[in-house]
Each structure stands twice: as structure tokens, then as C-alpha cells.
């Protein structure tokens, strides 16, 4: 998916549902365009754009937005994006709608123009525009009846987010006649694409998820094998995991690779992510970072929240420059909006520290709280810190105590190894900060968020 997102739980219509930076969206669509076009130079792209090629005009917008072969210039990027949209290119129209909805980068927010461009792209059948148009009606108009039509069209094209939202509308009877069976079918369609929120709704409804059926329990090798041989991609992936781990059977990495590839061939996003990890670690295949990154991107594009999280982590650690942080934030947002708590914490940290974006304590608190509500220790710790200090939320010592004690109950497995490592390297009492701890604390690593108050107490700074 190129843009749009899937809010979770109580954040359904609060905060920023869509990604505000248009170059994030363009990167999703055209991130590998240079490779696809033979690595055209900036001058070649500009020449084609000036001749009226709409795809080149959109690519030129990306080049200006990312500073690829030219100085970064958002105004020129917007100019070429608008030109491509005016010339009828649906993808550009969709992205222009996003910019007007958010009002970013010297473009004032204009909801009338936003919905105008969404409709333009949606009329051409652009699936992301259909989804975003439906979400726009939900978010700004609170009009579920209007939202249903474009959502249904996007769902018919296989858009997982639209399938999920439409499922919610049918489950609740909101804007449509309530129909549990239709809701379940839509959730199942979204779950097959790896959408975590859809799996959660199916579980809440007490329905077997076709992507993660109870029939494929690890203890039942025969059931897993039968389902895998029958073509179920989730079972094929489960077979691969059992063969890799030696879980109840003799380990066989060659057979594991075979099953992973069969699952991948069916477009199963979690299998693509596993394949990327295999190439990254060299488990069962020759270690190949380029292949690992290729399959990680494919898995992320296909909707794997784990792959999206790893994409974010990759860009966050890539070079530390603004462009890398922006891409990291994009992928963390994709993963976080699917409910991945690690992504929610890392995204919150980026907003808290202003990593590639203006610091926004409100958004930081929002994402920490989302992770905390899932029982994720780092989220619990961080939202306790925010409540204790009134950062992004009203100061509330009772809530701070609640989340801090929840963290203490859940976080021992995270914190203890860190404390033990420091104790071994430094001994008890005051002393210089170990180099590794200095790096963690200065760079806002997710581990640092667990021990920042402890580090400050012990060493007087963090």
C-alpha cells in the first residue's frame, strides 16, 4: 500500500490518521523507481517531465523532495506533483489530496481541495485514493454512509485496510445493515494479508483465522503438513519454522527453505519477512544482505507489520540523517498503525526526541500509551514517565504510578539483563558511564527508554 493507515483501538479518529509528509508517500510508490527506469539521471527525468510525461513529473517531485541528484526543494517538488496531478495522473492526484488534508510544507490545509483530489484519483479507480476518501469521510465528516461506497470499492480491489474498516462498519451496523458474516469474511480477507488488527477482531469474535488457524498448532505435525501440502501459505510457513527449529521433527533447513518459498510464491507477507531474515542471518540460505533487504521491502509493502518495523529500524540506523529518519518514521507508522507495539514505542521515541521531525510530545505520548495498553513493558515505562512529568499529557501522578507498576510487573525480562551487564562492567556505585551505555542513552535507542530514569539517578545524566 502506498499510503493511508490503520489506526488501532481508541485512536480510530484521533490524531493523524494519514502520513503528513508527501515525500513519504512518494517514496512508498516510487522508492525503487530509479532502478526500474535504469537509474535515469536527474537531468533525464527532468527532460521527460518537461515534455509532459506524467510519471516523470511525479518522479521529479520525488527527486526534489528527497534531494536525489538535486538540492532538496519542497516548493519545486510540490510544483511538479501538482503538474502531474493536473495532467490527470491518479497517483499524483492521490498524493496531492494527502498534502492538502494535512497542510504541510507551506501548503495550507484545505479539506475541500483534499477531498477534490481524492475524488479525482478515486474516479480513476486508484485503490489508495478510494481507501483514503472513505477514511476522510469517517475522520472529518463522521459520515459512515458516505464512507462505505469508496471503502467497498477499495476492499474489492484487495486493500487490507479497507477490508478491515468495512468489516468494522458491518460488525457495528454503522452506515450499513449489521451483518456479522460479511464482517467476518472481510476480516478474514484482511488477515490473509497479515493485518494484525484483523486477526485481533477475529479472535475477539471467536472465529478461526484462516491465516493462523488453531488447526496448525505446533504440536500437530500431521495437521500442519496436510494443510501445507494442501496449499495453505500459513501452514507452509509453519512447516518451515518447525523444520528450522527442530520443533518435534528432525531439523532440515533445505526443506524449510522449500516451504518458505512456496508460501512466498502465494504472496504471503509473513513468509516474505521470514525469508528476508533468513538471508540476513544466512540461515538455510547463503547470507545476502541485498536479498534480505529486497524481501524485507516486499514483505513490508505486502502488509507485514514485523517487516515494516524492521524497515523502520533499518532506516533509523542507516546514517542518522534527516532523510533516513523520515523513512524510518514512515515505516514505523505503518507498523504502529497495525498494532505493532515495538513500532509504537520507536515511533513515540522519534516524536519525543524530534528525530527527523519536530518534537511532538502529544504524539509521543499517544504511541507510548498505545503500546502500554497492549502490555508492552517499554510503552508502559515511557507513558509512566510522560504522566509523571506532564509531557504530552496532563501531569497525573496516579496514572504514572499505575503504568510504572505495570512496567515493573512486566519488564523484569527487559531490564534485568541491562542492569546485570552494567554491574559486571562497572561494579557497584558511581563511576563513568560504559561506552555502550553512553551510546544507548545518547541515541535514544528503545533500550535507553527503559533505563533513562535509572541511568540519570545513578550517573547524574543520560
Segment holding 454, helix H or strand E: helix 446-459
Question: Hey, is 25 helix, strand or coil?
Answer: helix
pLDDT of residue 323: 76
Least confident piece of the model among 33-37, 57-61, 175-179, 233-237: 33-37
Among 1.10.10.10, 3.40.50.2000, 3.40.190.10, 1.25.40.10, name the CATH number for the domain at 1-142.
Answer: 1.25.40.10
Percent of the chain with pLDDT over 70: 73
CB 144 within 8 A of CB 172: no
Q: Estimate to the nearest angstrom the gap between the alpha carbon of 291 and the chain centroid.
A: 21
Work out the angle at residue 119's Cα, subtended by the Cα atoms of residues 116 and 125, and round it to the nearest 5 degrees: 155
pLDDT at position 363 is: 92
Distance CA 72, CA 323 (A): 10
Q: Whole-angstrom distance between the N-terminal and C-terminal Cα of the chain? A: 39
Give the CATH architecture of domain 214-302: Alpha Horseshoe (1.25)
The answer to whether residues 332 and 340 touch, using CB atoms and an 8 Å cutoff, is no
How many angstroms from the chain centroid is the CA of residue 296? 12
Percent of the chain whose pLDDT exceeds 90: 18
Greater pLDDT, 145 or 335: 335
Instruction: Tell whether the model's pLDDT for residue 23 goes beyond 70.
Output: no
- As a whole number, mean pLDDT of residues 149-157 equals 89
Highest mean pLDDT among 87-91, 189-193, 196-200: 87-91
**Across 9-18, 44-53, 265-274, least confident range:** 9-18
Is pLDDT of 247 > 70? no
Mean pLDDT of 230-242: 84
Residue pair 361/349 in contact (Cβ under 8 Å)? The answer is no
Q: What residue spans in the chain does CATH classification 1.25.40.10 cover?
A: 1-142, 214-302, 309-410
Q: Do 324 and 339 touch, CB atoms closer than 8 A?
A: no
Write down the pLDDT at residue 258. 93
Q: The dihedral of CA 91, 92, 95, 101: what is its sign? A: negative
* pLDDT per residue as tens digits for the range 407-455: 766 655 555 555 555 555 545 444 554 444 444 444 444 444 444 444 4
Q: Which residue has the higher pLDDT, 215 or 384?
A: 384
291-296: average pLDDT: 90
Task: Tell whether the model's pLDDT for residue 370 goes beyond 50.
Answer: yes
| 74 compared with 349, residue with greater pLDDT | 349
Alpha helices in 283-357 (DSSP H): 289-301, 305-316, 322-336, 341-353
Architecture (CATH level 2) of domain 309-410: Alpha Horseshoe (1.25)
Amino acid at each position: 500500500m502506498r499510503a493511508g493507515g490503520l489506526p488501532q483501538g481508541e485512536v480510530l479518529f484521533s490524531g493523524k490518521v494519514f502520513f503528513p509528509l508527501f515525500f513519504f508517500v512518494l517514496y512508498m510508490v516510487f522508492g525503487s523507481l530509479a532502478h526500474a527506469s535504469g537509474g535515469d539521471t536527474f537531468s533525464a527525468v527532468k527532460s521527460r517531465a518537461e515534455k509532459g510525461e506524467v510519471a516523470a513529473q511525479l518522479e521529479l517531485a520525488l527527486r526534489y523532495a528527497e534531494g536525489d541528484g538535486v538540492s532538496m526543494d519542497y516548493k519545486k517538488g510540490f510544483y511538479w506533483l501538482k503538474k502531474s496531478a493536473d495532467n490527470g495522473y491518479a497517483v499524483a492526484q492521490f498524493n496531492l489530496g494527502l498534502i492538502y488534508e494535512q497542510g504541510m510544507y507551506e501548503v495550507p490545509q484545505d479539506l475541500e481541495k483534499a477531498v477534490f483530489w481524492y475524488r479525482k484519483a478515486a474516479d480513476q479507480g486508484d485503490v489508495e485514493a478510494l481507501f483514503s476518501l472513505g477514511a476522510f469521510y469517517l475522520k472529518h465528516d463522521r459520515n459512515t454512509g458516505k464512507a462505505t461506497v469508496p471503502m467497498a470499492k477499495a476492499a474489492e480491489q484487495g486493500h487490507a485496510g479497507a477490508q478491515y474498516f468495512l468489516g468494522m462498519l458491518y460488525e457495528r451496523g454503522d452506515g450499513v445493515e449489521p451483518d456479522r458474516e460479511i464482517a467476518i469474511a472481510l476480516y478474514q480477507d484482511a488477515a490473509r494479508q497479515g493485518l494484525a488488527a484483523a486477526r485481533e477482531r477475529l479472535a475477539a469474535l471467536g472465529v478461526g483465522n484462516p491465516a493462523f488457524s488453531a488447526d496448525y498448532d505446533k504440536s500437530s505435525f500431521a495437521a500442519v503438513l496436510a494443510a501445507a501440502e494442501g496449499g495453505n501459505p500459513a501452514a507452509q510457513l509453519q512447516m518451515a519454522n518447525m523444520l528450522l527449529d527442530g520443533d518435534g521433527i528432525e531439523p532440515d533447513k533445505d526443506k524449510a527453505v522449500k516451504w518458505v518459498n512456496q508460501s512466498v510464491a502465494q504472496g504471503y507477507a509473513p513468509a516474505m519477512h521470514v525469508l528476508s531474515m533468513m538471508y540476513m542471518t544466512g540461515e538455510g540460505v547463503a547470507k545476502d544482505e541485498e536479498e534480505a533487504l529486497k524481501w524485507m521491502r516486499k514483505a513490508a509493502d505486502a502488509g507485514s507489520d514485523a517487516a515494516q518495523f524492521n524497515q523502520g529500524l533499518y532506516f533509523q540506523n542507516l546514517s542518522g540523517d534527516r532523510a533516513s529518519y523520515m523513512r524510518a518514521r514512515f515505516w514505523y507508522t505503518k507498523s504502529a498503525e497495525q498494532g505493532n507495539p515495538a513500532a509504537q514505542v520507536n515511533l513515540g521515541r522519534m516524536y519525543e526526541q524530534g528525530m527527523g521531525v519536530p518534537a511532538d510530545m502529544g504524539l509521543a505520548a499517544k504511541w507510548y500509551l498505545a503500546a502500554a495498553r497492549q502490555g508492552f513493558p517499554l510503552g508502559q515505562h515511557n507513558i509512566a514517565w510522560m504522566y509523571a512529568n506532564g509531557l504530552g499529557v496532563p501531569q497525573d501522578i496516579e496514572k504514572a504510578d499505575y503504568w510504572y507498576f505495570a512496567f515493573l510487573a512486566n519488564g523484569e525480562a527487559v531490564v534485568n539483563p541491562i542492569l546485570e551487564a552494567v554491574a559486571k562492567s562497572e561494579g557497584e556505585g558511581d563511576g563513568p558511564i560504559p561506552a555502550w551505555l553512553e551510546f544507548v542513552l545518547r541515541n535514544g535507542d528503545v533500550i535507553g527508554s527503559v533505563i533513562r530514569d535509572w541511568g540519570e539517578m545513578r550517573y547524574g545524566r543520560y
